Amino acid sequence: MQSISITDLGDVRGGADSFGRCGPGSSLPFLGNYYTPECRAHDAAVRSAEAGGDSKFMAHLKALPQFPAAVGSWFRARFGGG
């Protein structure tokens, strides 16, 4: 089990419930509540980069290769496209 400080806990956005949710954490509720494997892969790439010491900006930059698939999966989930 890993413990984190109260300061680090304050930086958590969306919590574990938002992992794999399409969209930035649980903000922007108009996006809906869609969880897809592609959005989960993007979230995992961001978290992995942050765990490796990258800033939030660099972590998101490194996760860009997974972003188009995540966006496409949101459209499929939202609008029912194949």
Q: What is the pLDDT of residue 63?
A: 96
Q: How many C-beta atoms surround the C-beta of residue 54 within 10 A? A: 16
Whether 39 maps to a domain, the answer reads: yes
Grouping H, G, I as helix, E, B as strand and the rest as coil, residue 13 is: coil
Residue range(s) defining the domain that contains residue 46: 34-82
Encode pLDDT of 35-81 as tens digits: 999 999 999 999 999 999 999 999 999 999 999 999 999 999 999 86
Does any domain span residue 44? yes
N-terminal to C-terminal alpha carbon distance within the chain: 40
Element (H, E) at 75: helix 67-79
Do the domain assignments include residue 49? yes
- Say what the pLDDT of residue 29 is: 86
**21 assigned to some structural domain:** no
Task: Write down the pLDDT at residue 43.
Answer: 95
Residue with tokens 């969880």: 35
Measure the CA–CA gap between 64 and 72, rounded to whole angstroms.
13
pLDDT tens digits, residue range 7-44? 444 444 445 568 999 988 888 888 889 999 999 999 99
Q: How many domains does the chain have?
A: 1
